[in-house]
Structure 1
Amino acid sequence: MDVIKFVIWVAAAYFIGNISPSIILGKLKGVDIKKEGSGNAGTTNALRVLGKKAAVITLVIDIGKGALAVYLGSRFGNDEIAMACALAVFCGHIWPCLYSFKGGKGVATAFGALLAVNWLMAFLVLFVVAAGVLLSQRMSVGSLLGAVSFPLICWLIERDFIYIGSLMAFIVLIKHIPNIKRLIKGEEPKLFSKKEEKNEK
């Protein structure tokens, strides 16, 4: 494998992950989304703080950047580079150096990356997430169920991705620890609740 090519495309994927539509849209409205609502630079907090239009834009761009990073790694590199780009864009979204390493939880970006790796796996995970959200009315529940099911789906369909997929799932679970605590206490707000979650990251 060409090490220089690997480093270039993985670094590019990380910085693609740094693109944060929720932060940018917040600044256009004079709002620092990292200091409002949950403080999380993702779709759910964009919905609560900035509204539905901003949330849709955030979701589309976060998914798109995940898919783009993997596509570029595959198009100009190889499968190994593409899979490394999936992890890199995911980490770039969660820990963006351009925003003091404070980003989102990576769920939408992970879905976009997975969509480019294997669309069938992506839609199976989406089905699990959607079922969790519809039944609980909480995005966090859907995200947690999606993360738990992710390694199993990788093992069944795309075993080459199981190690990176499992690592991404583990990180998503870690990022949702505040949500898990609130779920246990019965304090996790529903999806369209405007209740602020100051401790969520």
Structure 2
Amino acid sequence: MVQVIWPAAAYLLGAVPFGLLVARRFGQDPRRSGSGNIGATNVTRVLGRRWGALTLLLDAGKGALPVLGCRWALAGEPSAGWWVAATGLAAVVGHCYPVYLRFRGGKGVATAAGALGAVCPAALGVAAAAFALVAGASGYVSAGSLAAAALMPALAAVLCPAAPVLALAWGAAVLVWVRHADNIRRLLRGEEKGWRRRG
């Protein structure tokens, strides 16, 4: 079963901590600054928007590239859709629980967006709009991320109603919510850090 190579490779690629690698160019470690997370939001806090945007693109690419590669390599196989879904989910798991960092990784939002966008770009577009709306209105990136993740399964069901796509959307959404457990608690207590100053 050579197909299993794709999820395995996706996990190893997803586990590459691009946020940490970008920050190290400047002698910084995002795990010791800001929120302590290695994702794009915290890299933006530590290094600014330019490097945060680069981290976002790299993290999204970790999800999209293995999914696109798997879909191309297994095109025409009856089980291709499920292997593609497994590959996308493995990339998100890798980002959240990276073997290179003792399984302490990021929140999975950008990598999940890349993986899901590769199989259902229309759903990603709507989810991205929801993210921007909620994050902009609330002032919290985490609230936007949670809203977008919660919408993805429903959007996939309407726009890309294939069982493997739904499985990927549900799996990624659950992972994102699990990884945001601390953010959810802070939001409920009114202690979450916003992206804009409050005064």
- The reply to whether TM is greater than 0.5 is yes
TM-fit CA distance, 1:122: 1.0
For residues 43-80 of structure 1, the C-alpha deviation after alignment (integer angstroms, 9 at most, x for no partner) is 11101112222101101111122110101111112322
Pairs within 5 Å for 1:70-109: 70-77=67-74, 78-109=80-111
Pairs within 5 Å for 1:95-174: 95-159=97-161, 160=163, 161-174=165-178
For residues 70-93 of structure 1, the C-alpha deviation after alignment (integer angstroms, 9 at most, x for no partner) is 011111123222111110111111
Mean CA deviation greater in 37-46 or 74-83: 74-83
TM-fit CA distance, 1:39: 1.3
Superposition TM-score, scaled by structure 2 size:
0.90
Q: Contact (CA 8 Å) 2:95, 2:105: kept in 1 or not?
A: yes
TM-fit CA distance, 1:26: 1.8
Q: Which residue of 1 aligns with 2:77?
A: none
How many residue pairs are counted as aligned between the two chains? 190
1:69 to 38, 57, 66: 66
Give the distance between the partners of 2:64 and 2:171, measured in 1 at CA.
Answer: 18
Give the distance between the partners of 2:182 and 2:160, measured in 1 at CA.
Answer: 31
Over 3 Å counting, the alpha-carbon distance change for 1:82 and 1:11 in structure 2 is: same
2:53 to 45, 56, 59: 56
Give the distance between the partners of 1:99 and 1:192, measured in 2 at CA.
Answer: 30
Q: Please, which runs of 5 or more residues in structure 2 have no aligned partner?
A: 75-79
Give the distance between the partners of 1:167 and 1:46, measured in 2 at CA.
Answer: 25
TM-fit CA distance, 1:192: 4.3
Superposition TM-score, scaled by structure 1 size:
0.89
Give the distance between the partners of 1:165 and 1:158, measured in 2 at CA.
Answer: 10
Q: Contact (CA 8 Å) 1:21, 1:57: kept in 2 or not?
A: no
Q: Contact (CA 8 Å) 2:152, 2:173: kept in 1 or not?
A: yes
Counterpart residue type for residue 188 of structure 2: I
Q: Contact (CA 8 Å) 2:85, 2:167: kept in 1 or not?
A: no
Give the distance between the partners of 2:143 and 2:195, measured in 1 at CA.
Answer: 10
TM-fit CA distance, 1:179: 1.0
Q: Which SS does the other structure have where 2:195 is aligned?
A: coil
Mean CA deviation greater in 119-128 or 26-35: 26-35
CA RMSD of aligned residues (A): 1.3
Give the distance between the partners of 1:113 and 1:105, measured in 2 at CA.
Answer: 14
Give the distance between the partners of 2:84 and 2:168, measured in 1 at CA.
Answer: 11
Q: Which residue of 1 aligns with 2:10?
A: 13
Q: Contact (CA 8 Å) 1:63, 1:110: kept in 2 or not?
A: yes
TM-fit CA distance, 1:189: 1.5
Q: Contact (CA 8 Å) 1:48, 1:192: kept in 2 or not?
A: no
